[in-house]
Amino acid sequence: MGRLTGKVAFITGAGRGIGRATAKLFAAEGAKVAVVSLTQANVDAVVTEIREAGGTALGVVCDIGDHVQIKAAVESVVAAFGGIDVLVNNAFDPSVVLSSVLDLSVDQLQRNFDVGPIAYLRTMQAAYPYLRASGEGRVINFASLAGVTGLAGYAPYNLAKEAVRALTRTAAREWGADGITVNNVLPIADTWGAASANIPAPANALGRFGSPEEDIAPVVLFVASKDAQFMTGYSLTPDGGMIIDSAR
């Protein structure tokens, strides 16, 4: 038996990068996986990979910035698989994350919130009844060390990702009595092809970006599994040691 046998996982941003790696690993560990992403081609590709490897997957095209689509996505997964045990909020729009504090516009900030903490809140609210019914529900939200350190030039991103961490901590307190754990993952990973684009390696202890498949997805699996049943409200940092510089 796999570590997630019998579980249903709803993973946003599962069409590429960390989301894709997580979806494939969860399926390999026995979960029925909802591959949720914006682009049909990416969804279809990941679903095909999972099924060809002997796993179970359902593709769901969804714009997480649209609350109607989020609700419909959750309902379609429940109709197909009978519930939701694990919710992974990973999707984000990287196209509008750059701005200084001085130049930051309300519209740009709003977009980062719409696809970040607001979208995560809506998926959490929609999935809550099923996570509670599970008896051991798991919510895993993706935040960022950029917000922790206040990375210059990423003002809208930093604000949105720190709001995700606040949402996570609050839900962890409120939902603990329902048997639901809520945690953050803050990765340093080559999600968007930084290494292949010759971007310098990050200044972390290990001197490299993390691999979505080898370094990040296994951490997400741990948080989703029974092994992490007594952890909630945490921010886990698979970052090669970058947190060392920001530890306070």
Q: 136: helix, coil or strand?
A: coil
For helices 155-175 and 106-114, give the axis angle rounded to 10 degrees: 40
Question: Is 154 among the catalytic positions?
Answer: no
Annotated active-site residue in 128, 130, 154, 157: 157
CA 193 distance to own-chain centroid: 18
Tell me the catalytic residues: 157
